[in-house]
Structure 1
Amino acid sequence: MLKQIARISLFIMLFTSQLLFAQQSVRLNNNWEFLKQDLGGIWEAVRPVGMGNPEAVPLWQKVSLPHCVNAEDAVDPDVNYYQGPAWYRTQLNISNPYQNGRTILHFEGAGQKTEVYVYTTKVATHVGGYDEWKVDITDAVAAFKKTDVYQKQFKGKVPVSIRTDNSRDLEMIPSNLSDFNVYGGIYRYLNLVYAPALSVDQLFAKAEVDAQGKLGKLSVKARFYDPAHVGGAGIKFKLVAPNGKIVRETDKKIALSDDLKLWEIEIKKPALWSTGQPLQYTLQYEVTATTGNYKGEEKIGFRHIEFVEKGPFKLNGKRVLLRGTHRHEDHAGVAAAMTEGMIRQEMQMMKDMGVNFIRLGHYQQSRIVLNLCDSLGIVVWEEIPWCRGGLGGNIYQQQAKRMLTNMVAQHYNHPAIIIWGMGNENDWPGDFPEFDKEKIRAFMKELNDLSHQLDPSRYTAIRRCDFCSDIVDVYSPSIWAGWYRGAYTDYKKASEDEFAKVKRFLHVEWGGDSHALRHSENPDKALSKIKTGGSADERAGDASLYGGAARISKDGDWSESYITNLIDWHLKEQENMPWLSGTAYWPFKDFSTPVRPDNPVPYVNQKGVVERDFTKKEAYYVFQSYWTEKPMVHIYGHTWPVRWGNEGEQKMVKVYSNCNEAEIFLNGKSYGSKKRNSQDYPAAGLRWNLPFVKGENTVKVIARKGKEMVTDEINFTYQTEKWTKPATLVLKKIDQQDDVATVEVKLLDEQGLLCLDAINWIRFGLTGDGKLIDNQGTSSGSRKVQAYNGRAVIRVKLNQGQSVVAVHAEGLKTVFTTL
């Protein structure tokens, strides 16, 4: 029911937003051309064919926005991703309906340095890849329309050219040492906005309520855009409750001032915004002036937040265990240029997994994300991209302050936001010859003070910079039990030790990598090498796959089997930590990174519970079994086609479910029911040792929660023959859907047995009419990939023609198949 309310609320929000702004703002998605290099100058972007440009070189390609320069090369196994200038150009029909109105380009995000031109006139520059910004092109457009080329060469259209640049620059944040790509391009939506001479640039609506929910207060300020100095105006406000009823309204005359409180009201017992029932009010406003009226609206929510010192988190006076994850702006095939539909799908998947908290790593993210957090009931830690590398000079520090100021201003009204993040891993040196902890502390204090000045109502936080832990309100240390240090059984003790050191403790970033489709019959084997009982933090070099002390990140098998065990242990422990404010698993989705070229999927951080294309890993269902209420059941191993062991040996089957009781069936025979107990590890007691038969097996489970029943079923082969080392490759097509074929390679020994522990590097190639669907950053979408249980797959776009696919693995004979 609550999920339905949230979805209805989201629909109403999107519908009313389009209704109010349809005539003022339009997304400029289509009719763009793109060039992945620099130009000699702006004239090369706008000169018409025939005017000294008969060859029309360089070649531009047609694209739509949002668009990322690094859509594919971020995960290309054979190149470093492109960091440099790129150009976009289009021609716009511009006709402002307002007399003396302003024509504005509104960028929701572009990376990392941007220049904007109208014809040959540079109208703006912006530094920073993640905050929103606006460019008033009114005067430049008017000047261009007076030229001869406006009608003669451009037929009444206005040429707009945009240069983006994500070149390496040590005096910019984020650092290129960060464990994510510093992308280039216009990778969020770009809007053409028509506004009257007087408009609202930013509305600040502060909604407060006491912990008991008895008295709500709303205070409204605004920052006006008034380049013509219109002066006085009228303003109307209307506050609409979540049920659609008008709560209050006013109509007054105002003298323009950014510090003027436009409206202050009190509301007794307001409907509260919470993670379970994210009720939002709508603040509608209209500015009336002789130059035209400007309408807008903001969504707000009344909620009370408290991080108890030496205690948990409270929302509206009640403890809420923050069950969180992280989000990077990154997706297969498009990199940072995720569409609104993709973003909505991702956020809904998080909510369906049981998430009520998210840390947006490590930069300000799209307004679409924040709107969805508001409507779905997901509280937010949002931060600026001061991430790794140390501390730069004045230009560097001014950018950080500017981005913090913009982030707070632009996302001030979102009830979901509870924390402003000042930085991440600021104890990580490398960009500068000097690494001065006292200077870092001093600047961290500047940021912390600035945040409280801009917004006293929210907490500040950082992750992993112990020598700054006392500066911010909430601190998250580095605890990676069972991955970078120690065993996962060290998690609770390590957390208790860190909790004792700070005022307010919140644990963000935990988990480990898993190579999707790789499974193991003995996933915890490497734990026998691990030193336990000590620190569980990540230290310099721990992310490397080579050298140093034994650690699971280096010595483990990177199987989905291991990571589900690690997650299972963490979640069962969190249920018995009453002092815990919450945690956030790192991250929700696999993402690209330039610092991990040797991972099983090159250049991908594989710690997600879903792959880079939204394909769920087994870990997703472990979270669901602990965090959701809607009945669910999932047998581990849906992507494990061949299990192995001895004849007659009993093998464990794990079932992840939030149901009270489950009954298991093997090949049609019941092996009894078990009751769920979250403290009975693993799988909360829903595990059975079953006698698989050689060959094909079917396992089915029936689970019950009250009167509701859910089922799940898997089929697999049980291999009892013992294999030796890989001796040959076998490649064949295993599926075709329309014009897309799927091919699979298997590694077999000399007897033709599948080598189920083989992790050889596989490289796919293709010649002919088709194209490999690669550079996706997924286990089945990379032309170079480590095998999972002796196999690997990739898809091919056939283009209605004929192709030959090749597969190579070092030391083995290359094989081919014709499609």
Structure 2
Amino acid sequence: MFKRTKYLFIIIALFSSQLVFAQKSARLSQDWEFLKQDLGGIWEAVRPVGLGNPESVPLWSKVNLPHCVNAEDAVDPDVNYYQGPAWYRTQLAIDNPYKQGRTILHFEGAGQKTDVYVYTMKVATHVGGYDEWKADITDAVAEFKKTEAFKKQFKGKVPISIRTDNSRDLEMIPSDLSDFNLYGGIYRHLNLIYNPALSLDQTFIKAEVDQLGKIGKLSIKGRFYNPDKVNDADVQFKIFDPKGKLVLKTTKKLSNLSGDVDLWSTEIKKPQLWSTESPLQYILQYEISAAAGNYKGEEKFGFRNIEFVEKGPFNLNGKRLLLRGTHRHEDHAGVAAAMTDDLVRTEMKMMKEMGVNFIRLGHYQQSRMVLNLCDSLGILVWEEIPWCRGGLGGDVYKEQARRMLTNMVEQHYNHPSIIIWGMGNENDWPGDFPEFDKQKIKAFMKELNDLSHQLDASRYTAIRRCDFCADIVDVYSPSIWAGWYRGAYTDYKKATEDEFAKVKRFLHVEWGGDSHAMRHSENPDKALSKIKTGGSADERAGDASLYGGAARISKDGDWSESYITNLIDWHLKEQENMPWLSGTAYWPFKDFSTPVRPDNPVPYMNQKGVIERDFTKKEAYFVFQSYWTEKPMAHIYGHTWRVRWGDEGEEKMVKVYSNCTEAEIFLNGKSFGTKKRNSQDYPAAGLRWNLPFVKGANIVKVIAKKGKETVSDEIQFTYQTAKWTKPVKMTLTKIDQQADIATVEAKLFDANGVQCLDAINWISFGLTGDGKLIDNQGTSSGSRKVQSYNGRAIIKVHLNKGQSVVSVASEGLKTVFLEL
């Protein structure tokens, strides 16, 4: 057995579909030190430290990779997130087994600018936080190994220092005006690779098939990494079908190894097709033999036919497919952009289980693992470069955009899931430069569009929200936010039809609205009475602000889960009756951090997700499931609605979101009848009942049937009939403890001791003692400053097996303390 150490190199077979894996590779995850500031110079990273010297500065901390500089401060309610230099350092035992081999550092993503040093020598610089890149450290390592420092100070190891920098820079994309954080750090995997002198750096597999699926045409090109100018090599190819059966093989001699080399063109009769329901992939294996050594690799690819019909829907393999989509930011509670493989896998599986068959990766190239999962799960992809907001910069700015587009297309070229390359987002949003010239933006958009088609003629191009560039790209998505930034959600279909008529190919990405998890309402649509309807449903400058301007739900609504489920329910109902619609994508799947929303109920969070930043499902998740999935499910709205309210004897609506054909509801053990599902019977597809709750405790249960299968769901809550006035006091109580983690809850009451169930007061938690608040998570239950939901707020405390005093404060109310 091999030992699991950082320095052991093992032969691996990464099923990567973009950058070819190396013959020998290891992830550099452990034994790193981190500094969240700049250095006076590279010498400070490598000079002799320790040796009992208490005055060694600066002070480094130990971390593992991936690591994000802004893991917590991105959602700290009291500070802006850090934008500036940070350093990482380690020492590696480097011993390349190949004669004249190349030693490579392979970055899967680091933000936003990165410098790499071997000892004191800078060996590479990269600008761009989202594309993959490599630093060849071969020569620098060889030079360092000749020094006394290598033998004495570093005892046979090589010091590697890496500087990342996410400082504000107007000549860099994306803009700091963007509605997401520009994270810093080495927040994706970093690999140490040993290559022979000749290796295959990129493969480009073009797999084409007609709509009938009769003939699969395959053409393979390669780009070699060949710094020593090796002239001759043999290459052997093998192709395996989705079941692992060898279907084709060939061997070729190569003499021209420069540029993009045509390696093999062939055909496969009646290929097995990749689809969202059956994402079948073939495997290409190759071995390159040369005097410099052998190099092996493996790639996955798939055959599928895609078509956005002009003035019509989307077809996959000759049949209409309604794109049921969402969006993803690379962001998670406690780690920000540095999501582990398990976290990424969990998130993508949750999307698929919600019924997603399409995703727009906003607003930048994402990790190879995300694309691999889209391939294997059957999720079609729109991936885009981060030209997002702010206008158009100068030559440096433009060159970065060209480079990142080229890298994205080339690195992800082989993924069957990708159908669209995105050129930009909200490019009609000015602000970074004194000049905002639409014609110059349009000219550069055309340049990028032409470059994309040159790099990959097999896929479509698209942008979202830049009307004066709508005629340039293949597919256009306008801004339609019916029921949130403009109008009512009932305006959705008319607004969509109007926009559809303006463009050649239409796809609606970004719709929805914010919801504060665990906040519920007995009258969620109340604010709609103030809203002007029947007009435009787009988003305009200032609409995201919680202050000023015309009435809009984003400002005047209650931000309840009750409202957003109504909005989503209406949209999904309407989308079923648009035969011309190619599809939509809800914005986004998961709440994410943003520097431009400090006043939101969870500060610095965009709360439009259907799950929270820690994977906690909101009620909206189940609305999508009820429309988009086949596996029987039933969900009663309100699992976190602890207390409902109203008059004694008043009937209150209960909604069940289900994909079953019929459902029966029970209140406190008594049946209140069976109803059949009808997607056009709004709300809840007809599965709604008006029930006479009793004062105090209530239990609601549903039993739903689909064919021979039966599913059920149950909720418990209290029904409060007492009326309340304004909050005048708080309580703080421990409501749960699991191991060393306690959960405390603050509640708001009026002068008569009645809980104020519509109170939205700001709550601030504090702690002194041995424990620590589990805060800066960007969730409704993981922020020390948060707006209350139905007159309460909770947070968890890590007790550290000691004693602590937790406090809760709210403006105008007496601070309350609780000893734990």
State TM-score, norm by structure 1: 0.97
CA drift at 1:56: 1.6
CA drift at 1:292: 0.9
Give yes or no for the alignment of 1:162 onto 2:162: yes
Give CA deviations for 1:265-306 in whole Å, capped at 9, x if unaligned. 111110000001000000111111111111111110000000
CA drift at 1:149: 1.0
Distance, in Å, in 2 between the alignment partners of 1:258 and 1:123 is: 24
Query: Which residue does 2:5 correspond to in 1?
Result: none
Q: How does 1:148-227 map to 2 (within 5 A)?
A: 148-227=148-227
User: Residue 164 of structure 1 aligns to which amino acid in structure 2?
Assistant: T
What's the secondary structure of 1:428's corresponding residue? Answer: coil
Query: Which residue does 2:8 correspond to in 1?
Result: none
Q: How does 1:550-629 map to 2 (within 5 A)?
A: 550-629=551-630
Distance, in Å, in 1 between the alignment partners of 2:572 and 2:287 is: 48
Q: How does 1:372-387 map to 2 (within 5 A)?
A: 372-387=373-388
Query: Which residue does 1:360 correspond to in 2?
Result: 361
Query: Which residue does 1:244 correspond to in 2?
Result: 244
CA drift at 1:233: 0.3
Q: How does 1:47-62 map to 2 (within 5 A)?
A: 47-49=47-49, 55-62=55-62
- The 8 Å contact of residues 223 and 261 in structure 2, kept in 1 or not, is answered as no
User: Residue 110 of structure 2 aligns to which amino acid in structure 1?
Assistant: A
CA drift at 1:351: 0.2
Query: Which residue does 2:504 correspond to in 1?
Result: 503
| Alpha-carbon distance change, 766 to 524 in structure 1, aligned in 2, over 3 angstroms | same
- The 8 Å contact of residues 384 and 422 in structure 2, kept in 1 or not, is answered as yes
Distance, in Å, in 2 between the alignment partners of 1:50 and 1:698 is: 64
Q: How does 1:600-749 map to 2 (within 5 A)?
A: 600-749=601-750
User: Residue 290 of structure 1 aligns to which amino acid in structure 2?
Assistant: A
Give CA deviations for 1:669-706 in whole Å, capped at 9, x if unaligned. 00010000000000000000000000000000000000
User: Residue 773 of structure 2 aligns to which amino acid in structure 1?
Assistant: L
| Alpha-carbon distance change, 157 to 642 in structure 1, aligned in 2, over 3 angstroms | same
- The 8 Å contact of residues 353 and 624 in structure 1, kept in 2 or not, is answered as yes
User: Residue 330 of structure 1 aligns to which amino acid in structure 2?
Assistant: D
CA drift at 1:16: 10
Q: How does 1:64-83 map to 2 (within 5 A)?
A: 64-83=64-83
CA drift at 1:50: 6.3
Query: Which residue does 2:447 correspond to in 1?
Result: 446
Distance, in Å, in 2 between the alignment partners of 1:495 and 1:25 is: 50
Q: How does 1:1-16 map to 2 (within 5 A)?
A: none
Query: Which residue does 1:3 correspond to in 2?
Result: none
Distance, in Å, in 2 between the alignment partners of 1:587 and 1:657 is: 22
Query: Which residue does 2:416 correspond to in 1?
Result: 415
- The 8 Å contact of residues 22 and 193 in structure 2, kept in 1 or not, is answered as no
- The 8 Å contact of residues 474 and 504 in structure 1, kept in 2 or not, is answered as yes
Distance, in Å, in 1 between the alignment partners of 2:15 and 2:289 is: 24
Distance, in Å, in 2 between the alignment partners of 1:782 and 1:81 is: 15
Distance, in Å, in 2 between the alignment partners of 1:259 and 1:758 is: 64
Query: Which residue does 1:8 correspond to in 2?
Result: none
CA drift at 1:101: 0.8
User: Residue 748 of structure 2 aligns to which amino acid in structure 1?
Assistant: L
Distance, in Å, in 2 between the alignment partners of 1:83 and 1:72 is: 13
The 10-residue stretch of structure 1 (395-404 or 145-154) with the greater mean CA deviation from structure 2: 145-154
Amino-acid identity (%): 83
User: Residue 161 of structure 1 aligns to which amino acid in structure 2?
Assistant: S
Query: Which residue does 2:88 correspond to in 1?
Result: 88
Q: How does 1:423-572 map to 2 (within 5 A)?
A: 423-572=424-573
Query: Which residue does 1:783 correspond to in 2?
Result: 784
| Alpha-carbon distance change, 666 to 95 in structure 1, aligned in 2, over 3 angstroms | same
Distance, in Å, in 1 between the alignment partners of 2:741 and 2:631 is: 35
Query: Which residue does 1:139 correspond to in 2?
Result: 139
CA drift at 1:14: 6.1
- The 8 Å contact of residues 381 and 417 in structure 2, kept in 1 or not, is answered as yes
Unaligned runs of 5+ in 2: 1-11
User: Residue 184 of structure 2 aligns to which amino acid in structure 1?
Assistant: G
CA drift at 1:257: 3.3
Give yes or no for the alignment of 1:300 onto 2:301: yes
CA drift at 1:427: 0.2
- The 8 Å contact of residues 214 and 270 in structure 1, kept in 2 or not, is answered as yes
The 10-residue stretch of structure 1 (23-32 or 720-729) with the greater mean CA deviation from structure 2: 23-32
User: Residue 57 of structure 2 aligns to which amino acid in structure 1?
Assistant: V
- The 8 Å contact of residues 16 and 300 in structure 2, kept in 1 or not, is answered as no
What's the secondary structure of 1:260's corresponding residue? Answer: strand
User: Residue 143 of structure 1 aligns to which amino acid in structure 2?
Assistant: E
What's the secondary structure of 1:403's corresponding residue? Answer: helix
User: Residue 340 of structure 2 aligns to which amino acid in structure 1?
Assistant: T
- The 8 Å contact of residues 22 and 296 in structure 2, kept in 1 or not, is answered as no
- The 8 Å contact of residues 34 and 89 in structure 2, kept in 1 or not, is answered as yes
- The 8 Å contact of residues 221 and 258 in structure 1, kept in 2 or not, is answered as no
- The 8 Å contact of residues 323 and 584 in structure 1, kept in 2 or not, is answered as yes
Give CA deviations for 1:237-261 in whole Å, capped at 9, x if unaligned. 1110001101100111112133321
What's the secondary structure of 1:435's corresponding residue? Answer: coil
- The 8 Å contact of residues 47 and 53 in structure 1, kept in 2 or not, is answered as no
CA drift at 1:100: 1.2
CA drift at 1:604: 0.1
- The 8 Å contact of residues 642 and 718 in structure 1, kept in 2 or not, is answered as yes
Distance, in Å, in 2 between the alignment partners of 1:260 and 1:139 is: 27
CA drift at 1:54: 5.5
The alignment's C-alpha RMSD in Å is 1.3
- The 8 Å contact of residues 219 and 265 in structure 2, kept in 1 or not, is answered as yes
User: Residue 660 of structure 1 aligns to which amino acid in structure 2?
Assistant: T
| Alpha-carbon distance change, 687 to 607 in structure 1, aligned in 2, over 3 angstroms | same
- The 8 Å contact of residues 507 and 582 in structure 1, kept in 2 or not, is answered as yes
Distance, in Å, in 1 between the alignment partners of 2:746 and 2:71 is: 27
Q: How many pairs align?
A: 806
What's the secondary structure of 2:222's corresponding residue? Answer: strand
What's the secondary structure of 1:372's corresponding residue? Answer: helix
What's the secondary structure of 2:181's corresponding residue? Answer: coil
Distance, in Å, in 2 between the alignment partners of 1:403 and 1:186 is: 18
Distance, in Å, in 1 between the alignment partners of 2:752 and 2:88 is: 57
Give yes or no for the alignment of 1:125 onto 2:125: yes
User: Residue 433 of structure 1 aligns to which amino acid in structure 2?
Assistant: P
User: Residue 258 of structure 2 aligns to which amino acid in structure 1?
Assistant: S
CA drift at 1:49: 2.0
User: Residue 741 of structure 1 aligns to which amino acid in structure 2?
Assistant: A
User: Residue 130 of structure 2 aligns to which amino acid in structure 1?
Assistant: Y
- The 8 Å contact of residues 663 and 674 in structure 1, kept in 2 or not, is answered as yes
CA drift at 1:411: 0.2
CA drift at 1:731: 0.1
Query: Which residue does 2:3 correspond to in 1?
Result: none
User: Residue 136 of structure 1 aligns to which amino acid in structure 2?
Assistant: D
Query: Which residue does 2:9 correspond to in 1?
Result: none
| Alpha-carbon distance change, 380 to 13 in structure 1, aligned in 2, over 3 angstroms | farther
What's the secondary structure of 2:429's corresponding residue? Answer: strand
What's the secondary structure of 1:374's corresponding residue? Answer: helix
Distance, in Å, in 2 between the alignment partners of 1:317 and 1:810 is: 61
Distance, in Å, in 2 between the alignment partners of 1:292 and 1:738 is: 55
Query: Which residue does 2:814 correspond to in 1?
Result: 813
What's the secondary structure of 2:441's corresponding residue? Answer: helix
CA drift at 1:728: 0.5
What's the secondary structure of 2:342's corresponding residue? Answer: helix
Query: Which residue does 2:106 correspond to in 1?
Result: 106
User: Residue 390 of structure 1 aligns to which amino acid in structure 2?
Assistant: G
Query: Which residue does 2:324 correspond to in 1?
Result: 323
User: Residue 215 of structure 2 aligns to which amino acid in structure 1?
Assistant: L
Distance, in Å, in 2 between the alignment partners of 1:298 and 1:50 is: 46
- The 8 Å contact of residues 15 and 299 in structure 2, kept in 1 or not, is answered as no
| Alpha-carbon distance change, 795 to 134 in structure 1, aligned in 2, over 3 angstroms | same
Distance, in Å, in 1 between the alignment partners of 2:527 and 2:82 is: 37
Distance, in Å, in 1 between the alignment partners of 2:69 and 2:15 is: 31
What's the secondary structure of 2:780's corresponding residue? Answer: coil
Distance, in Å, in 2 between the alignment partners of 1:52 and 1:667 is: 71
What's the secondary structure of 1:359's corresponding residue? Answer: strand
